[in-house]
Structure 1
């Protein structure tokens, strides 16, 4: 199996249809959770940047940055055949898939090929809030910075490694767990996600 692509996105807002990506961070891990490489880029969203109080990214910061379409040749090879990991994966993958659609790129990442470190915190961490900062604190994962894409991707990668270690030792606080949409997650669900991701058949970038 090819391992994991841990992603984090900063966006202009919360709706992938009307908002857009302004920063991408990707951390690549092998199938055992070991760090391989990291990559990040600001993205010109083609619209005014809102929520600056969250991420601190301004219109001036992204004005000369590439568009999402223009960074696809850098993004796609990093995601190809890997399980996509994120804290609140539905949010990040929703924006990715909408970005693909708007760019005319024929790819859609299914939920079955993703790993959500937020949902899995219910299984592998003591009870508490499930935000990235709260989960990281309970897992003993250091946060170097918050609400910047590469830093948050590093934190989510640390959470995944904590879950891998917990599963190896059989340490679980809840089993199974149910997501906010009612989907049931069992132990080591990342294995199935890697298998599904390896069979997606990513097309080559068209640009």
Structure 2
């Protein structure tokens, strides 16, 4: 079993550096070891996605910006095999842009996308997070950063239990092995 961090960002607007919340769930040896959510004050007060996640500028105005929060987040990234996110392209872009905005070193840890993992492991379609959570019987309060990252962590845990391995990139599915690369 691997050590990984499931991460989920919520953003205020279309800007990739507008993180307003992040959920972190650390998994070690197939079990959730710790979890935490942080509110983040984005660089600008424009909130276009309140209707999705319920957060407003007033909710985060007194929270630290990403740069000030980084010393609390960075230790979560130590000693990982990989990062996991549902639609990892989004979360990896937000992480990269937030780090660049505050002149922080961008983590080089590989991302695994649980959208791709669910499609290849169980042929789940559609693969929105609520669909995969329902398929696996997971609780989900969608667009709550901690709930989303917890569901993502549990998707990876389920895949590992079903034979997927980060180290080999393969899963034993029934009588056959399938390659699961570039998730």
CA RMSD in angstroms, aligned pairs only: 2.3
Gaps of 5+ in 2: 165-170
Q: Quote how far apart the aligned CAs of 1:106 are.
A: 2.3
User: Which residues in structure 2 correspond to 1:48-197 (within 5 Å)?
Assistant: 48-82=46-80, 83-109=82-108, 113-143=110-140, 145-167=141-163, 170-171=172-173, 175-176=178-179, 184-185=181-182
Q: Secondary structure at the match of 2:72?
A: helix
TM-score by length of structure 1 reads: 0.77
| Offset at residue 134 of structure 1 (A) | 0.6
How far off its partner does 1:9 sit?
A: 0.5
Distance 2:137 2:2 in 1: 27
Aligned length: 174
Q: Distance in 2 between matches of 1:15 and 1:153?
A: 21
| Conserved? CA contact 2:2–2:30, under 8 Å | no
Report deviation, 1:128.
Answer: 1.3
Secondary structure of 1:8's match? strand
Higher strand residue share: 2
TM-score normalised over the length of structure 2: 0.86
